[in-house]
């Protein structure tokens, strides 16, 4: 799928959770949201993007995507 | 006119709890205090003659036909306006009363055409019945005096005629327009002998403010207001109660029939969602169901450039199944999926998602709620614990302050809009949060918003959070409720967040365009109301922060204690008839029936045991993901039941690109809709009149859909899905939708107590219906939230990425109009086009002047994704900088200009905010010309289809 679209979707999720003052909870929120709602091929592609640098991902989103690998 | 064989009690039922016992004609009768003598008699089986009284309207006492004698009382009081009293003794029939009534009837008949045998109301006329009841045998005055028999008939309305020569000036139509509909389009003009019913200022109906709801026709006791369908076909001979197939109000109707021909739809006065009211769509716009465009033979083709080939059901199903199997063999089992529809029944929707999960072997199922109320599901599930509204519609009659956010009930949900207006006329206060001046703000007699927060599109979250800021910082929160009923930590965190200075009305005024003091006043009004209720629609959900606004609304209700009783709550107004139901039925790719996630092993095991297969534990593709995957080449087959994604989904060119990439598109519909023009298999669908099932409306009310005619294509929709499942090798053997509902009940805690027998006995059931609530649940979260403690969540305003600039300086927002419905596939094929025959662009006078646009000009509307052309309407409903259109006509291409921006949580498209450039033009856009050519070609391929061999 188009990378820019996936990145935007991921960052939109991050934008919601970033208002959470507890950073760990914010990261967990992003991770859980992607786990709950993203089809595996979408998760796979965003993980691949992160592994290639993932420069356009928000910090908490990048952290959350790292946790998806596990 | 009342429906066949229905008792009319003359006056409305009394809601009083204490009872009164009286005697009527020597019979002891006990009724609620406040009941009229007329109604008490009717409840005892005693019929008092009447003309101006009907039980849907308050008593009026004008016809004098219902006079009675009451022991100890002077004269002959009208039984309709006289309330019962303890020990009262009433006589409804004696020689004196008979003489009076005959005298009155004689006067009426002396100025009434005696054409009963050829009158359209013959056999269904209250005047005829009443005159017969009182035994009138002669008219002593003759018929040669001055009369109204030559009055001109008004046939301007496409659905009913107004024949003043038959009018008895009982005012029932006028009162129905006021009390039931709340439009006040009718009045009695003139005095004495000149008294007459006047639409508007003695205008034709179509030139007046009439909204063609049919309430006047329903109330008329003669043939003065008469359905043209009855004039054409005669009085119906039997009827079946069913549920409207239009909006999320889910009105109950009597489908009145002659054999298998539907003559008229009469709103069911026992309908618990509509109480006998209707709108122009449900009441009259049913002609589409038998329109000549209906396709009733299955068709297939190898490529979308081929002519269609009519085939047998067996061949079509086999063709579809083989294609799907080939795709899965070549590209993997996840390369196919399906889309359910909110226009289909619960049972059909359940079956499609079951076919996909169990038969296709993946969770690639989604529904059209993706593009409307998916944020409602997310927001309310996460705050309250259940993906649904909290109230009944009737709850609005207990509300003291009503806040309407991003909804236009008088157009989108007209029957509920009328109920809301009735409450507002009783004195409830109104706050409207909308970028446009909807009818509730003005233009609506006797209803006016106390505050209109005319915000800029895309700033809902800032407004809702600012409302919360005022409530918290001014000490208006219901702390006791929040601390007892909600998660205390989340409440505390939320209070800190909303109290931040950047969330104050003053701080966000420049962003939202809403005056800070007005916002503060609105917040105070809502927070201090004894009962404050919020109603919202797609103006909330269809944003990049749609889910955040839903959460913000839930926060407001919890913080002010406005949850868990009559008159309050959070009420999503669902767009289509079965949006709630399609979501309930497991149509979303991440959850099973009853909103349980597919990763939940216990739930999955339950379904695996029932369905006899191993089920996928990962969420499937959502609709926009399906499009992306199709363009990406990993998604190749799609089964679409009753949905028109090619027209309804945003960024049309992107959607059309995706559909062209599919190797097998199966469309099941009653018409060759826009999506079907890209299809390889067309499976003829059945209208709501041709099948059994249930719809679930916006108040969680499960109502019956009952077959009144044989399916034109020979199969109900659920049978087609079942055939496809069997052809794919996944066996299904239902013989009736009742069996499907039984399976749903067995697998779904919220539906455990639902059966067809119970629905028929109760009329309808609001879920949850189970051991804890055997008769359903009108009001939710009464003792505790479904999730236990209500959860406050933070709602930071994030501006949409769709921004205006010098190239695209205006914001386009979209909505709907009363006479048309959704993509218009149904209403465009009815006489409703008399009101609205094209989508138009509303623009503020200031913007129009700057751009040199005159009313009616053709204007090009260009966004970053595309361009279309439509006629301009200049109106100060709009605010400067914002334009508006509807999306009911495919060639308007409203979605050519909407973007792929979407809600962060659900991918619900941001239909409500698109930056556009508007300019006067002389011809259709390039897209429109190309699409017209494509569409004409597809029509030609249909017209020249290879017909089936007999």
What is the domain-level CATH number for residue B622?
3.40.50.740
Tokens encoding A27:
């990261």
Q: What pairs with residue B253 in β-bridges?
A: B242, B267
CB B256 within 8 A of CB B262: yes
* Set of chain B residues whose Cβ sits within 8 Å of the Cβ of A37: 590, 619, 622, 905-906
- How far are the Cα atoms of B373, B456, B506, B897 from residue B434, in angstroms, in the given order? 18, 8, 19, 21
Coil/strand/helix, residue B420: helix
As a whole number of angstroms, the distance between CA B233 and CA B409 comes to 34
As a whole number of angstroms, the distance between CA B347 and CA B169 comes to 47
Q: How many angstroms separate the most distant Cα atoms in chain B?
A: 91
Q: What is the pLDDT of residue B442?
A: 80
Residues B584 and B567 in one domain: no
Q: What is the pLDDT of residue B293?
A: 96
Model confidence pLDDT, tens digit, residues B483-493: 999 999 999 99
Inter-chain CB proximity B619 and A38 less than 8 Å: yes
Q: What is the pLDDT of residue B913?
A: 97
Residues B566 and B602 in one domain: no
Domain end (from B290, B313, B333): B290
B140 located within any domain: no
Inter-chain CB proximity A5 and B900 less than 8 Å: yes
Give the structural domain span for B271.
Answer: 160-290
Residues B386 and B421 in one domain: yes
Ranges of residues in chain B with a pLDDT under 50 are 2-3, 950
Return the HEC string of B569-601.
CEEECCCECCHHHHHHCCCCCCEECCCEECCCH
Residues B593 and B739 in one domain: yes
Closest CB to A39: pick one of B547, B548, B621: B621
B364 located within any domain: yes
Q: Is the ipTM of this complex over 0.95?
A: yes
As a whole number of angstroms, the distance between CA B877 and CA B396 comes to 26
Interface A–B counts its CB contacts (< 8 A) at 62
Closest CB to B597: pick one of A5, A33, A36: A36
Closest CB to B628: pick one of A5, A12, A36: A5
Residues B312 and B416 in one domain: no
* Set of chain A residues whose Cβ sits within 8 Å of the Cβ of B493: 21
- Total domains in chain B come to 5
Residues B585 and B565 in one domain: no
CB B6 within 8 A of CB B54: no
Inter-chain CB proximity A5 and B493 less than 8 Å: no
B820 located within any domain: yes
- For A10, the closest chain B residue by CA position comes to B904
Residues B605 and B643 in one domain: yes
Structural domain spans, chain A: 3-69
* Set of chain B residues whose Cβ sits within 8 Å of the Cβ of A33: 905
B275 located within any domain: yes
Q: Pick from B350, B911, B890, B889: which is nearest to B641 by CA?
A: B350
A70: pLDDT strictly greater than 80:
no
CB atoms within 10 A of CB B292: 5
Average pLDDT (A1-30) is: 95
CB atoms within 10 A of CB B442: 14
Q: Pick from B909, B343, B246: which is nearest to B582 by CA?
A: B343
CB B418 within 8 A of CB B586: no
Residues B596 and B514 in one domain: no
As a whole number of angstroms, the distance between CA B346 and CA B717 comes to 11
- How far are the Cα atoms of B184, B422, B522, B555 from residue B452, in angstroms, in the given order? 23, 19, 9, 21
B753 located within any domain: no
Inter-chain CB proximity A13 and B905 less than 8 Å: yes
Across the beta sheet with B765-766, what order do the strands follow?
B693-696, B701-705, B765-766
Cα angle for residues B566, B568, B569 (degrees, 5° grid): 110
B564 located within any domain: yes
A22: pLDDT strictly greater than 90:
yes
Q: What is the pLDDT of residue B12?
A: 97
Q: Pick from B10, B7, B19: which is nearest to B58 by CA?
A: B10
DSSP notation for B20-75: EEEEETTEEEEEETT-BHHHHHHHTT-PPP-SS--TTS-----S-TTB-EETT--S
DSSP notation for B192-215: GGG-EEEETTT--GGGSS----SH
Q: Residue B195 maps to which CATH number? A: 3.30.70.20
B759 located within any domain: no
Q: What is the pLDDT of residue B2?
A: 47
Q: Residue B818 maps to which CATH number? A: 2.40.40.20
CB B320 within 8 A of CB B727: yes
Backbone angles phi, psi at B766, to 5 degrees: -95, 120
Residues B492 and B443 in one domain: yes
Q: What is the pLDDT of residue B443?
A: 61
Q: What is the pLDDT of residue B444?
A: 67
As a whole number of angstroms, the distance between CA B718 and CA B87 comes to 58
Model confidence pLDDT, tens digit, residues B58-102: 999 999 999 999 999 999 999 999 999 999 999 999 999 999 999
Alpha helix segments (H runs only) across B234-359: 280-284, 313-331, 346-354
Residues B558 and B420 in one domain: yes
B775 located within any domain: no
CB B532 within 8 A of CB B401: yes
Domain end (from B231, B257, B290): B290
Q: What is the CA radius of gyration of chain B?
A: 29
Domain end (from B533, B552, B572): B572
Q: What is the pLDDT of residue B446?
A: 83
Cα angle for residues B826, B828, B829 (degrees, 5° grid): 70
Residues B549 and B672 in one domain: no
> What's the whole-number average pLDDT of chain A?
95
As a whole number of angstroms, the distance between CA B244 and CA B224 comes to 26
Residues B243 and B323 in one domain: no
């Amino acid at each position: 799928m188009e990378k820019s679209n996936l990145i935007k979707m991921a960052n939109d999720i991050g934008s919601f959770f970033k208002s959470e003052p507890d950073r760990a909870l914010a990261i967990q929120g992003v991770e859980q949201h992607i786990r709950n709602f993203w089809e595996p091929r979408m998760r796979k592609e965003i993980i691949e993007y992160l592994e290639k640098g993932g420069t356009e991902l928000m910090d908490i989103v990048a952290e959350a995507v790292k946790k998806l690998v596990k | 006119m009342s429906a066949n064989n229905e008792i009319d009690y003359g006056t409305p039922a009394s809601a009083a709890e204490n009872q009164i016992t009286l005697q009527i004609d020597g019979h002891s009768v006990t009724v609620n205090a406040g009941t009229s003598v007329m109604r008490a008699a009717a409840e005892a089986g005693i019929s008092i003659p009447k003309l101006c009284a009907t039980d849907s309207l308050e008593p009026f006492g004008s016809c004098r036909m219902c006079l009675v004698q009451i022991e100890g009382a002077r004269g002959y009081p009208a039984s309709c306006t006289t309330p019962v009293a303890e020990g009262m003794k009433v006589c409804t029939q004696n020689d004196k009363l008979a003489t009076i009534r005959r005298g009155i009837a004689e006067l009426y008949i002396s100025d009434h055409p005696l054409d009963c045998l050829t009158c359209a109301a013959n056999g269904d006329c209250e005047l005829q019945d009443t005159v017969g009841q009182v035994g009138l045998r002669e008219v002593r005055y003759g018929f040669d005096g001055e009369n109204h028999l030559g009055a001109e008939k008004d046939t301007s309305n496409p659905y009913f005629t107004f024949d003043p020569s038959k009018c008895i000036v009982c005012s029932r139509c006028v009162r129905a327009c006021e009390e039931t509909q709340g439009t006040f389009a009718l009045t009695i003009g003139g005095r004495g002998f000149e008294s007459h019913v006047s639409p508007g200022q003695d205008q034709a109906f179509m030139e007046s403010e009439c909204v063609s709801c049919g309430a006047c026709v329903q109330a008329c006791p003669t043939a003065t207001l008469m359905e043209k369908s009855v004039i054409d076909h005669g009085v119906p001979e039997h009827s079946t109660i069913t549920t409207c197939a239009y909006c999320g109000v889910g009105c109950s109707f009597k489908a009145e029939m002659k054999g298998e021909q539907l003559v008229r739809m009469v709103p069911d006065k026992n309908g618990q969602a509509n109480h006998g009211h209707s709108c122009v769509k449900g009441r009259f716009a049913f002609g589409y169901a038998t329109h000549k465009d209906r396709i009733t033979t299955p068709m297939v083709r190898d490529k979308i450039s081929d002519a269609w080939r009519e085939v047998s059901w067996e061949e079509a199903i086999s063709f579809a199944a083989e294609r799907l199997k080939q795709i899965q063999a070549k590209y993997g089992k996840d390369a196919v999926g399906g889309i359910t529809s909110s226009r289909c029944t619960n049972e059909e929707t359940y079956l499609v998602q079951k076919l996909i999960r169990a038969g296709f072997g993946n969770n690639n199922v989604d529904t059209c709620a993706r593009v409307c109320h998916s944020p409602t599901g997310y927001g309310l599930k996460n705050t309250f614990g259940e993906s649904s509204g909290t109230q009944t519609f009737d709850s609005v009659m207990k509300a003291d302050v009503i806040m309407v956010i991003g909804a236009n009930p008088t157009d989108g949900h007209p029957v509920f809009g009328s109920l809301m207006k009735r409450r507002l006329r009783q004195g409830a206060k109104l706050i409207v949060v909308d970028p446009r001046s909807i009818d509730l703000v003005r233009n609506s007699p006797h209803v006016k918003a106390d505050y209109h927060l005319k915000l800029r599109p895309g700033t809902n979250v800032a407004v809702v959070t600012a409302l919360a800021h005022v409530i918290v910082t001014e000490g208006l929160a219901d702390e006791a409720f929040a601390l007892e009923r909600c998660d205390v930590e989340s409440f505390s965190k939320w209070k800190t967040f909303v109290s931040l200075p950047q969330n104050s009305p003053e701080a966000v005024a420049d962003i939202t365009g809403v005056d800070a003091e007005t916002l503060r006043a609105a917040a105070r009004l809502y927070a201090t109301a004894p009962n404050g209720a919020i109603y919202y629609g797609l103006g909330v959900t269809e944003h990049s922060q749609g889910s955040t606004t839903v959460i913000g609304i839930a926060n407001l209700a919890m913080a002010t204690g406005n949850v868990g009783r009559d008159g309050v709550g959070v009420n999503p107004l669902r767009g289509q008839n079965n949006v709630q139901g399609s979501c309930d039925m497991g149509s979303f790719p991440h959850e099973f029936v009853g909103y349980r996630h597919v990763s939940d092993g216990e739930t999955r095991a339950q379904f695996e045991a029932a369905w006899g297969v191993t089920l996928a534990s990962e969420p499937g593709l959502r609709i926009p993901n399906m499009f992306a995957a199709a363009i990406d080449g990993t998604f190749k087959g799609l089964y679409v039941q009753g949905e028109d994604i090619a027209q309804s989904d945003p960024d049309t060119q992107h959607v059309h690109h995706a559909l062209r990439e599919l190797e097998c598109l199966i469309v099941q519909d009653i018409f060759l809709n826009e999506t079907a023009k890209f299809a390889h298999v067309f499976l003829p669908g059945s209208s709501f009149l041709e099948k059994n099932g249930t719809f679930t409306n916006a108040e969680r009310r499960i109502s019956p859909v009952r077959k009144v005619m044989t399916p034109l294509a020979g199969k109900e929709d659920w049978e087609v899905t079942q055939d496809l499942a069997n052809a794919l090798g996944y066996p299904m053997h239902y013989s009736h939708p009742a069996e499907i509902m039984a399976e749903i009940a067995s697998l779904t805690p919220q539906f455990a107590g639902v059966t067809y027998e119970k629905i028929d006995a109760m009329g309808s059931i609001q879920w949850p219906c189970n051991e804890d609530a055997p008769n359903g649940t009108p009001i939710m979260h009464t003792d505790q939230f479904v999730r236990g403690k209500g959860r406050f969540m933070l709602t930071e305003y994030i501006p949409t990425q769709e921004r205006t600039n010098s190239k695209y300086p205006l914001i386009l927002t979209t909505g709907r109009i009363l006479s048309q419905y959704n993509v218009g596939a149904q209403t465009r094929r009815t006489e409703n086009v008399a009101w609205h025959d094209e989508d138009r662009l509303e623009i503020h006078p200031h913007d129009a002047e700057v751009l040199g646009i005159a009313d009616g000009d053709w204007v090009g509307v260009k966004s970053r994704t595309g361009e279309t052309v439509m006629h301009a309407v200049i109106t100060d409903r709009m605010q400067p900088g914002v334009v508006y259109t509807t999306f009911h006509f495919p060639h308007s291409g409203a979605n050519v200009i909407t973007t792929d921006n979407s809600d962060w949580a659900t991918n619900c498209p941001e239909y409500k905010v698109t930056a556009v450039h508007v300019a006067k033009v002389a011809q259709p856009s390039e897209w429109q010309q190309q699409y017209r050519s494509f569409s004409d070609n597809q029509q030609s391929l249909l017209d020249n289809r290879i017909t089936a061999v007999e």
